[in-house]
Structure 1
Amino acid sequence: MTKLAYSVLNPESTDLPTLIFGPPLGTHASVWASVAARLADDFRVVLTELPGHGTDVGRDFSTEEPITVASMARGVVQIADELGAETFGYAGCSISGGVAQELALNHSDRVRAAAPVATAAKFGEPQDWHDRIAGVRADGIAPAVPDTLDLWFAAGFLSEDLAAGHIAAHQLLTTPEAAYIACCEALADYDLSERTADIAVPTLWMSAAQDVVNTPESMEQLAETAQNGTHVTIPDAAHVFMVEHPELAADHLGEFFRNHL
């Protein structure tokens, strides 16, 4: 089990269904903040950090077992335990979308519905991640930032919304290398490509029209393969669309989780 840092947006709302969010690699829990604020009247909203990211500063990975996507899913269950939530919903982007799939597969007694967002059942080949890790160890994260931001956001967004672009770049640049590498190692070992058809809990697979990594076509295929999957595409957006169009993301997530929690 990998312990995850988290915050509760509306801790007084213990009578509401619990909805937990997970961010993409190299970002903080706050990427979901604008979405979460729109949902706080209907759910007790929990924002989690990836290991060593965001508020989880100073984490010593040398003292831990290797982090896996499955161990992060168990960390989400531990959060639910700490909050006294017997069941909950979960929405996660990219690597956290892998966590969503792990929860749906292996913790279906706890997660009543899940939203895998801009994600995959397998992220490329392990060697791709080993090469990325080698690059970070040699040169740090900074050289990868421009290309990463181009993948995260639709064309023109960064020039139109300077605040969001600055915040995203700052989060990526300030992610500790050890934390980034630990999550890359988890992605290298992650492969649920033969298990999508076993996902039985309701799932909302969310893609973005300009996401060239986790395309709408690939997300549609995952939704069709899962037993109770549906798919929606956010227009004029790319990988981190919850920053670009929080209102659209909140509308779709709110409707989905209100129907299943």
Structure 2
Amino acid sequence: MPFILTGPLVTHYDLAGPEGAPVLLLANSLGTSFHVWDAIVPALTTRYRVLRYDMRGHGLTDAAPLPGETQGYSISELAGDALALMDALGIAKAHVVGLSIGGMVAQHLAAYAPDRVDHVVLCDTAAVIGPASVWNDRIVGIRRDGLPAIAPGVMARWFTDGLRAARPDLIRGYVNMVARTTLEGYLGCAMAVRDADLREAGAKIAAPVLVIVGDKDPSTPPASAEALAQGISGARLEMIADASHIPCVEQPEALARLLLGFLPD
């Protein structure tokens, strides 16, 4: 298992694919590890050097202390973690694909570190994911009852009814993934999403952008994806049928086709 020191954190990552190929950075969603991308990695590594990593406090990456009871991390800090990982591995530039909070990180990178980013894919994300009251209620519940109490309910937002009925084994695995995320990592990143407004950042993005959304996503629905694409000059919007918030798990072939059709060789 590869680990590397990235500033004050030890980051867990995976780097696979042909040496010398263009690097494709995958930034995962809240409450997941980089294994959320497992099903699409084989298709992507035919053309790219694929870099996955666990966000701070997720998977096996260190959790940074929270700055306060009501203060979490920021999207800027999380984007800085991604840049620190690229620096530590000697990667100057990458295509970036971000899912949910990872898509917010990707927006920030494209806007404020344009020399480090080539093409960008924003998957099931938005410039603003709210309202803040929803996040505050969730944070109160997690502090009171713990992540295991909310993990089963998260599955209804992540996956369609059909997948949940057909793959109870998969769903139990993702319940475990959420429940075993560190409290600091989940709360810190939840507060980063709560506090983020990337609409001004979107207007600064000059890189080619593809926005993707599952047609049944209740967390960042198609209307949010449309608004995101409209706020970024030249952005293209694609919808994946029969997918909720985590299409890389639910419809990996469809997502891989869209990525390979958009990203240059």
Using structure 2 for the length normalisation, give the TM-score.
0.90
Does the Cα contact within 8 Å between 1:61 and 1:178 map onto a contact in 2? yes
Task: State whether structure 2 residue 80 is matched by structure 1 residue 77.
Answer: no
Once the two structures are TM-superposed, the CA of residue 186 in structure 1 deviates from its matched residue by 1.2
Instruction: Give the corresponding residue for 2:232.
Output: 226
5 Å matches for 1:97-136? Answer: 97-136=103-142
Does the Cα contact within 8 Å between 1:22 and 1:93 map onto a contact in 2? yes
Q: Which one of the candidate residues 139, 146, 150 is aligned to 1:140?
A: 146
Whole-Å separation in 2 of the counterparts to 1:105 and 1:133: 29
Q: Which amino acid aligns with 1:61?
A: P
Give the length in aligned residue pairs.
257
Once the two structures are TM-superposed, the CA of residue 63 in structure 1 deviates from its matched residue by 8.6
Whole-Å separation in 2 of the counterparts to 1:141 and 1:135: 9
Q: 1:20 to 1:238 in 2, by over 3 A?
A: same
Whole-Å separation in 2 of the counterparts to 1:97 and 1:165: 23
Task: State whether structure 2 residue 190 is matched by structure 1 residue 184.
Answer: yes
Whole-Å separation in 1 of the counterparts to 2:26 and 2:183: 23
Whole-Å separation in 2 of the counterparts to 1:62 and 1:128: 20
Does the Cα contact within 8 Å between 1:118 and 1:208 map onto a contact in 2? yes
Q: Which runs of 5+ in 2 are unaligned?
A: 1-6
Instruction: Give the corresponding residue for 1:47.
Output: 52
Q: 1:86 to 1:223 in 2, by over 3 A?
A: same
Q: Which moved more, 1:38-47 or 1:186-195?
A: 186-195
Once the two structures are TM-superposed, the CA of residue 220 in structure 1 deviates from its matched residue by 1.9
Does the Cα contact within 8 Å between 1:4 and 1:75 map onto a contact in 2? no
Q: Which runs of 5+ in 1 are unaligned?
A: none
Does the Cα contact within 8 Å between 2:215 and 2:241 map onto a contact in 1? yes
Whole-Å separation in 1 of the counterparts to 2:146 and 2:195: 22
Does the Cα contact within 8 Å between 1:164 and 1:243 map onto a contact in 2? no
Using structure 1 for the length normalisation, give the TM-score.
0.91
Whole-Å separation in 2 of the counterparts to 1:116 and 1:183: 18
Instruction: Give the corresponding residue for 2:3.
Output: none
Q: Which one of the candidate residues 18, 37, 43 is aligned to 1:32?
A: 37
